[in-house]
Amino acid sequence: MGKPPPSRLKLRNAAKIIDAAQHVFSVYGFHGATIDKVAARAGMSQPNLHNYFKTKADLYTAVLDQTLTLWLDLIDDLDAEGDPFVELRRYIAQKMELSRRFPEASRVFANEVLQGAPVLKAMLKTRVRANVRHFAEVIEGWAAAGRIRAVDPYHLVFLIWSATQPKWARNGRIKSCSVVKVIVRSAG
C-alpha cells in the first residue's frame, strides 16, 4: 500500500517553503542560498523544513519544477487548428504575464541555464521534452500547411522563453505581436 496523500497543512507548508526558496535562490543563487535562509524566510525552523525537503538540491529542483509547470501548461493550451498569429500572440502574452507575476522564478531559471543547466538537464530530457514536442508538432504543422514560415520549433520556444524574461516583459521592450509577426505570414 502506498503513502496516504499529504494533508492540506503539509501542502500549504511545502508551497510556502518553495516560495521562500524561490526568493532566496533568485537573490543568492544556488551556491549562496542556504537552508537557514529559506527556513527563516518561510518562518519555520530548519529541522521542520527538512521534514519537507531533505536537501538544498531537492528544494532547488522543486523550485525549478514549479517554474516549468507554469510555463509548460501554457504550451498545452496551444491550438493546432487555431490561427497561428492569434495562438502564438496569446502564448507569448501569457508567458510575459507569468514573467511579470513571477520574476524570481524566471531569474532562478535563467541562472540555472547560465550555469549550464546542471539540474535542468534531467528535466529537459523528460517532461520538458514531451511538452516542447507538442509545441514543435503544432509549429511544424502550421509550416507544412504554409500558414507560417518554416522555423526550428525548438529554437523558437527557447527564444520565446528568453525574450519574455522579466527584464523585457517588465519594461515593455518586447511586444508579443512583434515577435509573432517575424514568424507568421498570411496564408496564401
CA distances from 36 to 2, 18, 64, 103, 145 (A): 32, 14, 19, 23, 55
- Say if 30 falls within a structural domain: no
- Say if 122 falls within a structural domain: yes
pLDDT at position 32, please? 96
pLDDT at position 2, please? 73
Residue 176 has pLDDT above 50, yes or no: no
Among 11-15, 38-42, 148-152, 159-163, which stretch is predicted with the lowest mean pLDDT?
A: 159-163
Average pLDDT over residues 1-23: 90
pLDDT at position 186, please? 40
pLDDT at position 142, please? 94
- Residue 36 and residue 46 in contact, taking contact as beta carbons nearer than 8 Å: yes
- Say if 88 falls within a structural domain: yes
One-character DSSP codes across the chain: --PPPPPHHHHHHHHHHHHHHHHHHHHHHHHH--HHHHHHHHTS-HHHHHTT-SSHHHHHHHHHHHHHHHHHHHHHT--TTS-HHHHHHHHHHHHHHHHHH-HHHHHHHHHHHHTT-TTHHHHHHTHHHHHHHHHHHHHHHHHHTTSB----HHHHHHHHHHHTSHHHHHHT-S-HHHHHHHHB----
pLDDT at position 188, please? 39
**CATH label of the domain that carries residue 173:** 1.10.357.10
Quote the domain boundaries for residue 132. 57-183
Q: Specify the higher pLDDT residue, 28 or 132.
A: 28
User: What pLDDT band is residue 171 in, cutting at 50, 70 and 90?
Assistant: very low
pLDDT at position 184, please? 56
Residue 63 has pLDDT above 90, yes or no: yes
Residue 178 has pLDDT above 70, yes or no: no
From 49, 13, 15, select the one nearest 33 (Cα to Cα).
49
- Residue 105 and residue 22 in contact, taking contact as beta carbons nearer than 8 Å: yes
- Say if 33 falls within a structural domain: no
- Say if 35 falls within a structural domain: no
Residue 172 has pLDDT above 80, yes or no: no
- Say if 15 falls within a structural domain: no
User: What pLDDT band is residue 40 in, cutting at 50, 70 and 90?
Assistant: very high
- How far is the C-alpha of 49 from the C-alpha of 7, rounded, in Å? 16
HSE on the CB side for 21, CA within 13 Å?
29
- Say if 87 falls within a structural domain: yes
Residue 109 has pLDDT above 80, yes or no: yes
Average pLDDT over residues 120-136: 85
- Residue 162 and residue 93 in contact, taking contact as beta carbons nearer than 8 Å: no
Show the cell assigned to 14.
Answer: 511545502
Residue 134 has pLDDT above 80, yes or no: yes
- Say if 52 falls within a structural domain: no
Count up the domains in the chain and report the number: 1
Residue 124 has pLDDT above 70, yes or no: yes
66 Cα distance to chain centroid: 7
